[in-house]
Structure 1
Amino acid sequence: MNAHAGADAVAGWRVIASLAENPPMTISTAWIDEGCIGCGACATVCPQVFVLPMSDAEIAGSARADGLTGTNREQRSALHAHIVAECGDEIEEAAAGCPVDVIRLVA
């Protein structure tokens, strides 16, 4: 085994160990807290979940178990499992990229 192969193997094990310690989030619900500035960054990253029908971002009814489009702040309706399976990474990316940090995710 050459030195690069050994280093690659060690790096690979570090990634696996990191994932074991910090597994990816399985999102159950999402909502938009007060303070949204309506920039649309979330809807750009994940249009299947985040929409901008007015001035503030909302969670699309098609993504929510209750079928309602809105901030989901009060209802805290679950997201459809198939949406989370298809778009989980994008949902997390949208939350992380929110410039005012108002997207809340619950595992």
Structure 2
Amino acid sequence: MTIAKVWIEDGCIACGICEEICPEVFVVDDVSNVKLNVDFNEYASGIKAAADACPVEVIKYE
């Protein structure tokens, strides 16, 4: 699967799970953010794992 876009919807609780699972793509400050200039396809499995682990289900990708 090719991933062209990753984003965080409203409602992030800044738990840090996404950054723990895939620090190459996610960084948590006040809320989770997607890093710029990342080849999402290189980290597709980590992005999917982070989205699946998100307790509030706000990590989205396409």
Give the TM-score of the pair, scaled to structure 2.
Answer: 0.90
Aligned with 2:14 (options 29, 32, 38): 38
Q: Does 1:91 align with 2:17?
A: no
Shift of 1:62: 3.4
- Alignment of 1:29 with 2:5, yes or no, is yes
> C-alpha distance in 1, partners of 2:2/2:52?
15
Higher strand share: 2
- Which structure: greater helix fraction? 1
Matched residues in 1 for 2:36 and 2:2: separation?
A: 20
Q: 1:33: Cα distance to partner?
A: 0.0
Equivalences for 1:57-72 in 2 at 5 Å? 57-63=32-38
Identity percentage of aligned residues: 40
- Tell me the SS of whatever aligns to 1:61: coil
Aligned-pair CA distance for 1:87:
1.1
Which blocks of at least 5 consecutive residues in structure 1 are unaligned?
1-24, 64-79
Match status 1:103 vs 2:59: yes
TM-score, length-scaled by structure 1: 0.54
CA RMSD of aligned residues (A): 1.1
Give 1 or 2 for the bigger CA radius of gyration.
Answer: 1
Count of aligned pairs: 62
Q: Higher relative contact order at CA 8 Å, sep ≥6: structure 1 or structure 2?
A: 2
